Structure 1
Amino acid sequence: MTICAYVTFDDPDGNDDERELVLASWREAGIEGRAVRWDDPEADWSAFDAAVVRSVWDYVERRAEFVAWAHRAGSVTKLLNPAAVIEANTDKTYLRDMGVPIVPTHWSSGDFPQWDEYVVKPAISAGAKATIRTSDRAAAKAHAAKLEAEGRTPMIQPYLDMVEAEGETSLLYFNRVLSHAVRRNPMLAPGQTQADLARAELRTPAPDQLELAEKVLAEVPGDLLYARVDLVRLPDGRPVLIELELTEPYLFLSHSEAAVGNLTRALGELL
Structure 2
Amino acid sequence: MTGTAVLVSCAELPTGDGDDDVVVPALTSLGFSVSWAPWDSAFDFSSAEAVILRATWDYPARRAEFLSWCESVPSLFNSAAVVRWNTDKSYLVELLDAGLPVVPTSLVTPDSPASFPSSDFVVKPSVGAGSRGAARFTAGTDASAHVAALHAEGHTAMIQPYQSSVDTAGELALVYLGGIYSHAFSKGAMLGSTMDESGLYLAEELAPATPPADAVALAEDVLDAASALLGILRAELLYARVDVVRGADGKPLLLELELTEPSLGFSQTDAGAVTRFASAVRQQLA
Does the pair score TM above 0.5?
yes
Q: Give the distance between the partners of 2:177 and 2:223, measured in 1 at CA.
A: 11
SS in structure 2 at match of 1:181: strand
Other-structure match for 2:282: 268
Equivalent residues of 1:118, 1:137 under 8 A apart = no
Matches of 2:13 and 2:268, distance apart in 1? 25
Alignment TM-score, normalising by the size of structure 1: 0.91
Conserved? CA contact 1:119–1:134, under 8 Å: yes
Change (3 A) 1:260 1:194: farther
Question: Aligned partners of 1:16, 1:226: CA distance in 2, in Å?
Answer: 18
Q: Structure 1 unaligned runs (5+)? A: none
Q: Deviations over 1:169-212 (max 9, x none)?
A: 10000001111101111111x5x345783331111111111111
Query: Structure 1 residue 113: deviation in Å?
Result: 3.2
Q: Distance in 2 between matches of 1:149 and 1:136?
A: 24
Matched with 1:203 is: 209
**CA-based RMSD:** 1.9
Q: For residue 163 of structure 1, report the CA deviation from its aligned partner.
A: 0.6
The farther-off stretch of 103-112 and 240-249 is 103-112
Q: Among the aligned pairs, what percent are the same residue?
A: 38
2:199: which partner in 1? none
Helix, strand or coil: the match of 1:92?
coil
1:87 aligned to which of 59, 84, 88: 84
Match of 1:23 in 2: 24
For residue 6 of structure 2, what is the aligned residue in structure 1?
A: 5
Deviations 1:89-114 (A, max 9, x none): 11101111112111112222625133
Say which SS state the counterpart of residue 143 (structure 2) adopts. Answer: helix
Q: 1:193 to 1:15 in 2, by over 3 A?
A: farther
**2:155 aligns to what?**
152
Query: Residues of 1 paired with 2:139 and 2:217: CA distance?
Result: 36
Looking at structure 2, the residues matched to 13 and 245 of structure 1 have their Cα atoms a distance apart, in angstroms, of 21
Deviations 1:10-52 (A, max 9, x none): 1368652033211111111111111121111x32222111111
Structure 1 residue 166: deviation in Å?
2.0
> Is the partner of 2:105 in helix, strand or coil?
coil
Aligned to 2:105: 105
Return the letter of the residue paired with 1:244: L
SS in 2 for 1:52: strand
Decide whether the 8 Å contact of 2:184 with 2:208 is kept in 1.
yes
Q: Compute the displacement of 1:232 (Å).
A: 0.4
